[in-house]
Amino acid sequence: MSRNRFIQNAYYALAFILCISCSEKKQANSSENEAEIIPDDIVEMRNDQVKMASIDTGSVEFRSLSGTLKASGKVSVAPGSFATVSAPLGGFVKNTNLLPGDKVLKGQSLALIENQEFVDIQENFLEARTRMEFAEAEYKRHSDLYNEDVYSEKNLQQVTADFKSLKAHVTALKQKLALIGINPAELHEDNIKSSVMLVSPIAGYIKSVNVNIGKSISPTDILFEIVNTDNLFLELSLFEKDAGKVSAGQIITFFINNETEEHSAVITQTGRSVDTDKAYKVYAKVTKACKNILPGMYVNAIIEISGNKVPSLPSDAVVSFDDKDYIFLFDRNKVENGNAFTEYRIVEVHKGMTDGGYTEIILPVGFDIRSAKVVISGAYNLLSAKKNAGEMAC
């Protein structure tokens, strides 16, 4: 009886051991299956691999970064540095000897213009001035007589009206004479002339000449174009998304004609609207004159930008793959089969400006900057582990 009980007990013990063994095997298999299911945005490494990959974490910093923007445009001149010259009353070109590219000074003679109307204006002025002088004398004489009660108020009013009318006529003729370049104070009966000199309103260089001797011209004809290259400015176009990154006072480095020589300018003002082609205009004054910079030239420019403090990380912390930018965050520590692991979460970001080894990052909505532990060293090793599907993972 005792032998049968021993065999029975042995059977029960063996069955229990087999059940425990199967249960442990199932648990082990279950743990292995769970370990293999890793979310797509997670990369895990054993702690010894973390040390070997030199992975270190830090936090997002707020830094004032300066960067650059690329822009293109052209060289222009300020309105006050560009002049189109016409003959106000027209006439005939009697003489000129200027060519495009010639340097002229302000007030320098450009051409001699002849017109019979010049003679008529001078004649009318001299006659009107003589009549006004007589009318002025009559006005003073009648005023004295009126004050002595010798002359009537009605007669005084008539004389006053005649004097003021002639005075207005003489003033108008003075303006006409000044318009054609004749000084009324120097005009008298013996120096009436039929031609006047057309003079340059600004100093600069002749850009174009549209006259020749004997040519008949009208008041609307443009005879000369003059440009002063001492006050050049740049008219640049930026993308509308960069409108908030530029302001007056920023420095610009620009190049012309694909040359390597650098030129500098300073932004004087920015546009207040966006063009139909979504371009944003920026205007900058050239700070140093250069002979090979001329209006109308095409330029490539680099704008130095600086702004308020922005979220930044060491540039090595931001990795790129498939035209997208990512950072890695510490997620958690865990233990599997007696081995210690660290999990890192990959997060997509957008890069901004880069300066001094740091890069501005535009973080996703809801990102907790205060608590986030960002991988600042070894990020590319984590990216390799992610791309190679486990070469650096366990």
State the fold for domain 69-80+228-306: Elongation Factor Tu (Ef-tu); domain 3 (2.40.30)
- For position 218, what pLDDT does the model report? 93
Mean pLDDT, residues 288-314: 82
How far apart (Å, rounded) are the C-alpha atoms in residues 142 and 202? 49
How far apart (Å, rounded) are the C-alpha atoms in residues 103 and 273? 38
CB within 8 Å of 53: residues ≥ 6 apart: 45, 378, 381, 382, 392
> Residue 67's closest CA among 352, 362, 363?
352
pLDDT at 30 over 60: no
Tokens of 380: 């590319």
342: β partners:
45, 333
Q: What is the pLDDT of residues 108-118, one digit of tens each?
A: 999 999 999 99
Q: Which range, of 36-50, 189-203, 207-221, 355-369, averages the lowest pLDDT?
A: 36-50
- For position 122, what pLDDT does the model report? 92
> Residue 91's closest CA among 110, 109, 118?
118
pLDDT at 29 over 70: no
Q: Are 348 and 326 in contact (CB under 8 A)?
A: yes
Domains 37-65+310-387 and 69-80+228-306 equal at CATH topology level: no
pLDDT at 293 over 90: no
Q: What average pLDDT is seen over the chain?
A: 83
pLDDT at 22 over 70: no
How far apart (Å, rounded) are the C-alpha atoms in residues 29 and 10? 28
Class of residue 338 by CB neighbours under 10 A (exposed 0-12, middle 13-18, buried 19+): exposed
pLDDT at 17 over 60: no
- For position 15, what pLDDT does the model report? 41
Q: What angle do CA 393, 315, 362 make, to 5 degrees?
A: 95
If you count them, how many residues does the chain have?
394
CA atoms within 13 A on the CB side of 211: 31
Query: Which of 134-148, 206-220, 289-303 shows the highest mean pLDDT?
Result: 206-220
> Residue 300's closest CA among 108, 133, 72?
72
- For position 36, what pLDDT does the model report? 54
CB within 8 Å of 128: residues ≥ 6 apart: 166, 169, 170, 173
Q: What is the pLDDT of residues 239-262, one digit of tens each?
A: 887 887 788 888 888 988 777 788
Give domain limits for the chain. 37-65+310-387, 69-80+228-306, 116-193
In which band, very low, low, confident or very high, does the pLDDT at 221 lie, cut at 50, 70 and 90? very high
Mean pLDDT, residues 326-340: 90
Q: Which range, of 14-23, 168-177, 296-305, averages the lowest pLDDT?
A: 14-23
In which band, very low, low, confident or very high, does the pLDDT at 290 lie, cut at 50, 70 and 90? confident
Q: Which residue has the higher pLDDT, 24 or 201?
A: 201
CB within 8 Å of 95: residues ≥ 6 apart: 111, 112, 213
pLDDT at 151 over 80: no
- For position 160, what pLDDT does the model report? 87
Pick the CATH number of 37-65+310-387 from 2.40.420.20, 3.40.50.300, 2.10.109.10, 3.90.1150.10: 2.40.420.20
CB within 8 Å of 371: residues ≥ 6 apart: none
Which residue shows structure tokens 């600004």? Answer: 202
Mean pLDDT, residues 12-38: 46
CB within 8 Å of 269: residues ≥ 6 apart: 248, 283
- For position 242, what pLDDT does the model report? 80
pLDDT at 158 over 90: no
Which helix (H) or strand (E) element contains residue 170?
helix 153-180
Tokens of 241: 């998304």
Which residue shows structure tokens 């029960």? Answer: 12
- For position 306, what pLDDT does the model report? 67
- Strands lying side by side in the sheet with 109-114: 195-199, 109-114, 91-95, 216-217
- For position 392, what pLDDT does the model report? 39
What 3-state DSSP class applies to 60?
coil
Q: In whole angstroms, how far apart are CA 35 and each of 28, 29, 56, 352, 394?
A: 11, 10, 24, 37, 10
Cα Rg for the chain, rounded, in angstroms? 45
